[in-house]
Amino acid sequence: MKGKRIWISAVSGLLAVLLVLGIAPNLPRANAESSGEIKEQINELEEEQAAMEAELEELKAQQLDNLSEIQDISSQKSVIEQEVGILELQVENINAQISAYALLIADKQEELDEAESYLAELNELYKERIRAMEENGDISYWSVLFEANSFFDLLDRLSMINEIAAADARRLEELRAAAQAVSEAKEELETEKAALEETRQSLADAQAELEEKEAEAEELLLELLARGEEFEALVAEGEDAISELEAEIAAAEKEYKNAKYLEWLATSVATTQATTQATTATTPTSSSSSGGSGGTTTTSENVTWMVPVSYVYVSSAFGYRIHPVYGTWKMHNGVDLATSCPNNIYATRAGVVTTATYSSSAGYYVVINHGDGYSSVYMHMCKSPYVSVGDYVSQGQVIGCVGTTGVSTGVHLHFGISYNGTYVNPMDYIG
């Protein structure tokens, strides 16, 4: 694209020189693109830009959705982490209870072991005493009865024997009951401990499930964050691509203007040559009181110049003068063509509008660059110009109307011509 712009700029300069020499129509335009072709390229680029902008908007929408999903997952992950924390506290509490029950069970087991040991010892002693009484005969059951002195003594001895036996039996029974109570307490503690173990296992399972969910949420969050980074990179790439495309469109627009300008210049040259053969000068060359009519042409250096307005006379010539408003001696860089209002102002030659504005001294005015070093200026228009900066105007195109805006003493057109930045006498070209 840059090579094309350089090529067109070079051709523009060369064509401007050839215009002066009057030989531009014979210049071949090989490899040159017409303004229509460039405009078609611009349209295609703008369509591509619109599509890219639509894709970028969709990408940004997906990016927002991704950010929203990240926030949702982060919130879920935070809740899961809180639940896991609560479960951990519950498990710690259950473990503490289980440890306490284990201590109680151990104590009960110790009591049970002592009771059972003592019971076994007493039971063994009781058996040994009974067996000794029966085997040794020293203090046998029958000897105690037969040694009674009387019936009442017998009854007393029987009662004593029964009481001893009953006391031994009661003690043994009490010991068995105590051992049974300890055993039952131990079983109850073990049952409660087993229930706690089961609760702890349930909590552990729930904790494991939550930790698995937390891991999944963490994995998804990392994936979404990675996707977010990808979105950011894609959005940046898309914005850069659109910026590059905008620059390319701007360059193409410049190409289009240059091509359009070259076409205007080529048309102007063809018109100039045709008009040169068919027209003659119709306006005076001095600042006399005779006038000219807009639309008539004259030639200078084989280039056709058109009288910019139908005027009555030249009210102020080119050169130094006493300024009619300021009363100072200063250069007048154009000619004042006195006329009436309304009256159209015509482009003296084809070219591109470089200025179309208002100033306090010139009023509404227009400057046209003709591409061969020449420019023309039109001042004191009655209102805003009919053309804008960048417009390509053809010779004879109406660009405004005569007026008296700015520093002016009456209705007239200040018309000036400059060559390579230096003002020249316009009457040498239109007179």
**Average pLDDT of span 268-296:** 44
Q: Which has more pLDDT, 398 or 284?
A: 398
Q: Which of 85-94, 119-128, 342-351 has the lowest mean pLDDT?
A: 119-128
Q: What is the pLDDT of residue 294?
A: 53
Least confident stretch, 70-74, 126-130, 358-362:
126-130
Alpha carbons 354 and 359: distance in angstroms, whole number = 15
- The confidence score (pLDDT) of residue 279 equals 40
Q: CA 386 to CA 395: how far, in whole Å?
A: 15
Task: Compare 383 and 361 and report the one with higher pLDDT.
Answer: 383
Tokens matching residue 160: 């004593």
User: What confidence tens digit (pLDDT) does each residue in 143-153 have?
Assistant: 555 666 666 66
Residue 274: pLDDT over 70: no
Percent of the chain with pLDDT over 90: 18
Helical axes 35-136 vs 151-278, angle rounded to 10°: 170
Residues 6+ away with beta carbon under 8 Å from 93: none
pLDDT tens, residue by residue, 302-342 = 788 999 999 988 988 998 877 776 677 778 889 999 998 88
Do residues 91 and 207 touch, judged by C-beta distance below 8 A?
yes
Q: How many angstroms separate the Cα of 293 from the Cα of each of 273, 338, 370, 403, 429? A: 21, 12, 22, 17, 15
Rounded Cα gap, residues 94 and 203, in angstroms:
9
Largest separation between any pair of C-alpha atoms in the chain: 191
The rounded radius of gyration (Å) of the Cα atoms in the chain is 60
Q: Where are the alpha helices (DSSP H) in 137-150?
A: 141-146
Q: How far apart (Å, rounded) are the C-alpha atoms in residues 62 and 234?
A: 11
Q: Which position has the token pair 């009436």? A: 340
Q: What SS3 state is found at 345?
A: strand
Q: Is the pTM of this model over 0.75?
A: no
Distances (CA, A) of 43 to 38, 39, 324: 9, 6, 53
